[in-house]
């Protein structure tokens, strides 16, 4: 029988402190985010529903997809199969993958990748014109399609953005750039107190004219495609806009979240010193796929003693091995040795990485590359079914913000782009069918009970330290409880004043983002404290073994008064 630990009581705000909306726009569906999942969902919805509003935090091309180096995984080779891809995904997921979700991913994946090509994405090809495939950690065969060597995400983003630009003048779609979604609006709660159906979103647009400042986009459907949580941590491979906005908004609206504790730390991120923070340079797993080796600071290769796949073991295995090796050698990093690959090959196969290394005076043909783990991907998020539906009527989630059950405890390399692609298609089809069938009626927004919050932007570094020191690469109960205590002590009251009478923070972008970062860090640490075992991307020094009774999903949601509720849920 599963016995969950005593957890501290946590109450979070149910809405952000913000001015009342000064303008309103109506749509059939609002898509939030412009990575592969958001762009695909918007394109598919445009041909299926009357009006789509696509909201992005920066410009269209600024989604997280553009930073994806390695590629997109799919069984494209006749010698490969969806069944083999499924087995590799399940093995990496540490027993927590939903097999139905994985089967959906691997069987629909090849067709969706070929549709990407039809939409203009240009992948690297072999001499006979077939898509060139390589291998990454956890895959037992070559099935990673790539573009521009190590610029796969950038090429996919370019192709999809071009498709959106081609229909910008279509009255059935509107693109709103430089817009932060604040909260998901919901209708009146049910008689049992359950959250009401989705009514739209509030958002803040940085610009001029009718779409300036805080407004409301009213729609019976909201599709969250907001990407990851990288800025919750001190250092990450994620861009600056990855502040967990979608997860935080879904939490405040009362949606069920899951697998939050499973954070993937990429093993090989360029190490530039202990004081470096912000977005760091990723050295793709594909470099190890082409034969690069990991050495400790004494020059000893250590991965063959850790896992049969050595440098191509699943990412959590490699990251944990590096952390333990650096502790044993008293070092802050290890070395990636790609010298034997040759200068011409490295520059041709990995032009982006080669350029980034050169900016720091590193030549991989002659130099060892210093690397260490850093936050890279979040396997958890808003719990959805196979069609992207969340626990709230009308709220969908696709891409990294979603918890589909595909990744389980640890994402298999290059499955993320495929997940966003496959489930965005499925969500769009489901939205259209349910709108047409009258199952997603428009409802009026209802005022949400509970407190509102605004965390001062000046507190962000403190939040990030707490997340890095608590639910970091290696965790313990003591460290997690310290992090939760630190996070609880940070002022969140939107009306709290300083000694001189001024508010601690004003409702604006930096404060809203910091509030989201704070809420995500809090529930992440709470979920990590609840799971008393080690599995996949969640490693506890005080519970180093994997336990069969923990083959469950840790679910997290917020009650109507903001009280965080946490408990086990079945997987799938």
**Which has the closest alpha carbon to 268: 364, 359, 152?**
364
Q: Is the distance from CB of 196 to CB of 189 less than 8 angstroms?
A: yes
Which residue numbers are catalytic? 315
Rounded CA-CA distance 393/512 in Å is 25
Tokens of 460: 């962000």
| Three-class DSSP labels, 202-263 | EEEECCCCCCCEEEEEECCCEEECCCCCHHHCCEECCCCCCCCHHHHHHHHHCCCEECCCCE
Q: Please, what sign has the CA dihedral across residues 531, 534, 539, 544?
A: positive
Phi, psi of 77 (to 5 degrees): -80, 135
411 secondary structure, DSSP code: P
Q: pLDDT 10s digit of each residue in the chain, 572 long?
A: 466 788 999 999 999 999 999 999 999 999 999 999 999 999 999 999 999 999 999 887 776 676 666 689 999 999 999 999 999 999 999 999 999 999 999 999 999 999 999 999 999 999 888 899 988 878 899 999 988 876 788 899 899 999 999 998 888 999 999 999 999 999 998 877 788 999 999 999 987 555 679 999 999 999 999 999 999 998 888 888 899 999 999 999 999 999 999 999 989 999 988 767 667 888 988 899 899 999 999 999 999 999 999 998 878 889 889 989 999 999 999 999 999 999 999 999 898 899 999 999 999 999 999 999 999 999 999 999 999 999 999 999 999 999 999 999 999 988 999 999 999 999 999 999 999 999 999 999 999 888 899 999 999 999 999 999 999 989 999 999 999 999 999 988 766 655 555 666 788 999 999 999 999 999 999 999 999 999 999 999 999 999 999 999 999 999 988 999 999 999 97
What contacts 275, CB < 8 A, 6 or more positions away?
none
Query: 118 in helix, strand or coil?
Result: helix
Alpha helices (H) along 175-314:
245-253, 285-289
């Amino acid at each position: 029988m599963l016995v969950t630990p005593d957890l501290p009581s946590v109450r979070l705000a149910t809405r952000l402190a913000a001015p009342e909306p000064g303008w309103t726009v109506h749509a059939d569906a609002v898509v939030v985010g412009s990575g592969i999942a958001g762009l695909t969902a918007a394109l598919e919805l445009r041909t299926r529903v009357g009006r789509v509003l696509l909201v992005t935090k920066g410009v269209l091309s600024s989604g997280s997809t553009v930073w994806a180096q390695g590629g997109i995984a799919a069984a494209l080779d006749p010698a490969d199969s969806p069944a083999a891809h499924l087995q590799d995904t399940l093995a990496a997921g540490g027993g927590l993958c939903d097999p139905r979700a994985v089967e959906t991913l691997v069987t629909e994946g090849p067709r969706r990748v070929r549709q990407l090509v039809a939409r203009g994405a240009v992948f690297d090809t072999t001499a006979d014109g077939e898509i060139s495939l390589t291998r990454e950690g956890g895959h037992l065969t070559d099935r990673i399609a790539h573009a521009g060597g190590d610029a796969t995400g950038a090429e996919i983003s370019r192709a999809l953005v071009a498709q959106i630009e081609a229909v910008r003048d279509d009255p059935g779609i509107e693109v709103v750039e430089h817009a932060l979604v604040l909260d998901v609006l919901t209708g009146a709660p049910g008689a049992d107190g359950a959250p009401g159906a989705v009514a739209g979103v509030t958002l803040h647009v940085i610009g001029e004219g009718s779409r300036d400042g805080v407004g409301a986009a009213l729609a019976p459907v909201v599709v969250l495609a907001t990407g990851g949580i990288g800025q919750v941590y001190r250092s990450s491979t994620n861009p600056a806009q990855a502040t967990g906005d979608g997860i935080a908004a879904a939490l405040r609206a009362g949606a069920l979240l899951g697998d939050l504790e499973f954070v993937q730390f990429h093993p090989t991120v360029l190490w530039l010193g202990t004081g470096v923070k912000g977005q760091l340079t990723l050295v793709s797993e594909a470099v190890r796929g082409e034969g690069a080796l990991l050495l400790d600071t004494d020059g000893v290769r250590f991965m063959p003693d850790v896992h049969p796949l050595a440098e191509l073991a699943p990412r959590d295995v490699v990251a944990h091995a590096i952390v333990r090796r650096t502790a044993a050698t008293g070092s802050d990093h290890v070395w990636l040795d790609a010298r034997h690959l040759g200068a011409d090959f490295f520059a041709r196969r990995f032009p982006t990485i080669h350029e980034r290394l050169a900016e720091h005076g590193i030549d991989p043909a002659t130099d060892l590359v210093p690397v260490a783990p850093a936050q890279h991907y979040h396997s958890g998020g808003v719990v959805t079914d196979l069609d992207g539906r969340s626990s709230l009527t009308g709220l969908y989630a696709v891409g990294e913000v979603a918890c589909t059950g595909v990744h389980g405890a640890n994402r298999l390399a290059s499955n993320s782009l495929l997940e966003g692609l496959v489930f965005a298609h499925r969500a769009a089809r489901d939205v259209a069918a349910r709108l047409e069938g009258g199952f997603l009626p428009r409802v009026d927004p209802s005022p949400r009970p509970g407190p509102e919050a605004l965390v001062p932007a000046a507190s962000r570094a403190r939040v990030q330290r707490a997340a890095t020191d608590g639910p970091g690469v290696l965790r313990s109960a003591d460290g997690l409880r310290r992090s939760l205590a630190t996070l609880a002590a940070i002022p969140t009251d939107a009306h709290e004043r300083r000694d001189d009478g001024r508010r601690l923070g004003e409702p604006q972008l930096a404060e809203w983002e910091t509030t989201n970062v704070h809420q995500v860090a809090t529930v992440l640490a709470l979920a990590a404290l609840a799971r008393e075992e080690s599995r996949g991307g969640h490693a506890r020094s005080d519970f180093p073994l994997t336990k069969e009774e923990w083959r469950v999903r840790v679910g997290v949601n917020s009650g109507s008064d903001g009280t965080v509720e946490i408990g086990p849920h079945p997987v799938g």
